[in-house]
Amino acid sequence: MDRTVTLRPFEREVAERLSMLANNENVVAQVRDNFPYPYTLSDAHYWIDFCNSRRNDESFHRAVFYGDEFVGGIGVLRQEDIHRYNAEIGYWLGEPYWGLNIMTSALQQMTSWVFENTSIHRLFAGVFETNLASMRVLEKAGYHLEAIHRKAITKNGQMLDEHLFVILRDNNSFPRL
């Protein structure tokens, strides 16, 4: 069975699986509060429609596949004004696929694509202090810890530090595929 990690546009065909994988307390515990929970089929359809309506240079969202299975999502949001050459990258992965290096591969692919196809020169990701696995994913993909924002996040009523990981286009540390 092919277990290659690929990034594809979000399509309606993944809606049911998206709602199933995203409707998980352990996934939701590590993402921003605007990620719905419970995650319904209606939420999945809304997200897919949103992703497909954003065909411009300000955001890019891709479905992550492991072989032929949809397993998660990854996206980039370009910043504005004086930060216009910066973008935030974020991702999530269905819990059954944790620990398989899937997101490391997806992050490397998205990072390479952004630097090769856009004018963005700096990608950053904010990670909750409790999400050690995501920090490791970023490190393996060539990102470096730039800062720790003390008690910058409130998640489930708890104040948490945010670890900011960064990769620059010109530091030659991003993976070339």
| Structure confidence at residue 52 (pLDDT) | 87
What range defines the domain where residue 163 resides?
5-171
Residue-averaged pLDDT of the chain: 93
Section 64-92 average pLDDT? 96
Give the domain CATH number at 21: 3.40.630.30
| Structure confidence at residue 2 (pLDDT) | 66
User: In the 8-state DSSP scheme, what is residue 119?
Assistant: S
Q: For 115-148, how does the pLDDT look when each residue is reduced to its tens digit (9 = 90+)?
A: 999 999 999 999 999 999 999 999 999 999 999 9
| Structure confidence at residue 56 (pLDDT) | 64
Q: For 69-81, how does the pLDDT look when each residue is reduced to its tens digit (9 = 90+)?
A: 999 999 999 999 9
Rounded to whole angstroms, the Cα distance separating 177 from 174 reads 10
Tally of domains within the chain: 1
Q: Is residue 177 part of a domain?
A: no
Split at pLDDT 50, 70, 90, the class of 173 is low
Q: Is residue 176 part of a domain?
A: no
Rounded to whole angstroms, the Cα distance separating 68 from 82 reads 40
| Structure confidence at residue 175 (pLDDT) | 52
Rounded to whole angstroms, the Cα distance separating 134 from 83 reads 24
Q: Is residue 110 part of a domain?
A: yes
Whether the model clears a pTM of 0.85, i.e. scores above it, the answer is yes
pLDDT(58) > 80: no
User: Which segment of 8-17, 21-30, 48-57 scores lowest on mean pLDDT?
Assistant: 48-57
Whether the CB-CB separation of 86 and 114 falls below 8 Å is answered with no
